[in-house]
Amino acid sequence: MSAGAVDFYWRPGCGFCMHLERGLNKRGIPLNKKNIWDSPEAASTVRSIANGNETVPTVVIGDAALVNPSAGQVIQAISNQAPELLPAGVEVPEPGQLSRRINKLLGG
């Protein structure tokens, strides 16, 4: 993760990327955008996270890597990994049932 921002991997024309970026910008989340089509290193990072695929958006926050997450999932990860990046007044959503089960399976 870049100092002071969430690493946000994207590509031009990706509707999911645009939707997530809007949601995070609306909440004032700082992003370090990395276009996987312009950066072989960024594309390689995404492939290492997404089982060899170039699935975007992919977000990295500290030790957490999220593939095609919701804004709420990104905010939860920021809360756990880099709470200093959360702007004042941003509420951290409660994890849903699926998120709780995944966290339990992963030992969280």
Residue 107 above 90 pLDDT?
no
In whole angstroms, how far apart are CA 22 and each of 2, 17, 86?
A: 20, 9, 16
Is the pLDDT at 2 greater than 90? The verdict is no
- How many secondary structure helices (H) and strands (E) does the chain include? 4, 4
Q: What is the pLDDT of residue 87?
A: 85
Domain boundaries, the chain: 6-105
User: Mean pLDDT, to the nearest integer, of 46-75?
Assistant: 95
Confidence of residue 106 (pLDDT cuts 50, 70, 90): low
Q: What is the pLDDT of residues 19-50, one digit of tens each?
A: 999 999 999 999 999 999 999 999 999 999 99
Tell me which CATH homologous superfamily contains domain 6-105: Glutaredoxin (3.40.30.10)
Contact call for residues 5 and 31 (beta carbons, < 8 A): yes
Q: What is the pLDDT of residue 90?
A: 81
58 by Cβ neighbours in 10 Å (0-12 / 13-18 / 19+) ranks as buried
Q: For residue 87, what are the contacts with CB-CB under 8 A and spacing of at least 6?
A: 27, 28, 29
> Is residue 89 scored above 60 in pLDDT?
yes
